[in-house]
A and B are shown apart, each in its own frame.
Chain A
Amino acid sequence: MQVPAPFTYERAGSVDEALSLLGRYGPEARLVAGGHSLIPMMKLRLARPEALIDINGLAELDYIRVDGDHLAIGALTRHASVLDSPVLREHYRIFAEAERVIADPLVRNRGTVGGSLCQADPSEDLSAVFAALRGEVVVRSASGTRRVALREFHVGPYETAVGDGEILVEVRVPIRTSVGSAYEKVERRAGDWSIAAVGAFVVLDGDVISDVGIGITAVGAEHFTCQAAEELLLGSSVQDALVETAAATCAAACNPSVDQRGPEDYKRHLVSVLASRALHRSISAARGEVA
């Protein structure tokens, strides 16, 4: 039987209460929402927090809404809600396309957006989605709130910019028009982590790519993206050869590790194929063609 090491369980009824509990228990306390990453790690004793602060009761952080020219997603929003959200679907298909291949329906009923980002698994899908869309996170502490660009959020594997005594409360994504987006993932079996996955959005001004974002996960891409490929595409008119060059740039720039999911050359090949597909489908969607 796998059992976590002993800890003290606390339940927070508000963000303020969660912050005060974090203050009381100090750096060895962890917030828990869905728990579908943290609790398995605790069972394996890879994580041994002294206190778990349950934030499942913070209904104030469970929302998806339009906030001016941004989409705002509360940290406690479950994966299932992201998958089913008409608002997100209207603006960015990348959300539903990514969510459909994150874990399985039961896990998606529990797992949260904030928890996924803060777990900061190097193969996590939403990190690539929000990196592609140039999202930012809102982090609260007792002394106020600050915003961190998603591309500066990950400090390393399983490490984020969220410090002691802080809580991620919201993720924000700019709303764009004439935009298409897509997510492409290859996994060994249904519900598994990615071998590689690439997400993209493209904004077209006529035939010119006036804005573009690429997100890459599971293959050691710096900041879950490839800026060189984005720069190559930005301001150019749509050409197949250019998309292929950008995809090859993604493949060359990432840094896949060799593991049971495959060798390096295979993973690079995947990145190039998936980047090409994600970009082509984003372009088609931006043109209003049915993907």
Chain B
Amino acid sequence: MMKVQIEVNGKETSAEVDDRLLLVHYLRNTLGLTGTHWGCDTSNCGACAVWLDGIPVKSCTTLAAMADGASVRTVEGLEGDALDPVQQGFIEEHGLQCGFCTPGMMMTARALLDQVPDPDEATIREAISGNLCRCTGYENIVRAIRWAARHEAAAREQQSAHEPQGAAL
């Protein structure tokens, strides 16, 4: 047994855990954050994707011990004052059917848009190639991520239109 301290969605968490406890089970069972899904258990499906220090990883292949001292972001941490545009995009474009892959898809999509704000379809498909969906055929997932990208671009434009044009003004 060992004590881990992990910042999850901005909050410090801490527990005595078995050395072999996987991060996905720490999130789901120890913390009760069941938004992160536990899927194939073999690092293939990506339903368990969370951010570890800002980088999307598969939490079924990461030990809770490895995340000791790190910060983790899960799907529960996406929503701020309003739904994250990625979440809204999945609603607008019907990006889910059964919803099992959705948390992992959205965490991967959020990471993509933070790096590449205006990704083309090929870039999106490459980015989510470690997240498997058995329902949608991916078409609506790609549209959902494009929706979020467009929405965020429009929001940025609106914001810059309201900002003063320079310090000299």
| Chain A interface residues (CB < 8 Å from chain B) | 1-9, 11, 32, 35-36, 39-40, 43, 52, 54, 56, 103-107, 109-110, 190-191
Query: Contact between B61 and A104 (Cβ–Cβ < 8 Å)?
Result: no
Q: Decide yes or no whether B82 CB sits under 8 A from chain A.
A: no
Bound together, the chains give a CA A116 to CA B165 distance in angstroms of 51
Contacts A104-B130, A106-B130, A110-B62: A1 and B41 contacting too (C-beta < 8 A)?
yes
* Complex: A208 Cα to B156 Cα, angstroms: 55
Is B102 positioned at the interface, with any CB of A under 8 Å from its CB?
no
Contacts of B65 in A (CB 8 A): 9, 11, 54
Selecting from B42-50, B73-81, B83-91, B140-148, the interface stretch reads B42-50
Complex alpha-carbon distance, A39 and B56, angstroms:
18
Give every chain B residue within 8 A of A1 (Cβ-Cβ). Answer: 25, 38, 41
Check if A105 sits within 8 Å of B130, measured CB to CB: yes
The answer to whether A4 touches B20 (Cβ under 8 A) is yes
Q: Compute how far the CA of A52 lies from the CA of B55 in the bound complex, rounded to whole angstroms.
A: 23
Chain B: minimal CB distance from A48 (Å):
11
Residue from B18, B22, B56, B63 with most neighbouring chain A CB atoms (10 Å) = B63
A6-B20, A109-B55 known; A43+B66 contact, CB < 8 A: no
Which residues of chain B are within 8 angstroms of A35 by Cβ–Cβ distance?
61-63, 66
The answer to whether B127 has its CB under 8 Å from any CB of chain A is yes
Contacts of B38 in A (CB 8 A): 1
A87 to B115, CA, bound (A): 21
Residues of B within 8 A of A43 (CB): 41-42
A103 touches B19 (CB 8 A): no
Bound together, the chains give a CA A3 to CA B24 distance in angstroms of 12
Docked Cα-Cα span, A8 to B63, in Å, equals 12
Q: From A105, which residue of chain B is reached at the shortest CB distance? A: B130
User: Which A-B residue pairs are the 8 nearest by beta carbons?
Assistant: A104-B130, A9-B19, A106-B130, A9-B65, A4-B20, A2-B41, A104-B129, A109-B55
A107 touches B43 (CB 8 A): yes
Cα-based distance from A190 to B130 in the complex (angstroms): 9
A/B interface sample: 11 pairs, CB < 8 A: A1-B38, A5-B20, A9-B63, A36-B58, A36-B61, A52-B63, A104-B46, A106-B57, A106-B130, A109-B57, A110-B62
Q: Which chain B residue shows the least CB distance to A106?
A: B130
Q: Does B157 make an interface contact (CB < 8 A)?
A: no
- Complexed CA–CA distance, A32 and B62 (Å): 10
Chain A nearest Cβ from B52, distance in angstroms: 8
Q: 1/0 per position for B11-49, CB-CB distance to A under 8 A?
A: 000000011101001000000000000100111101001
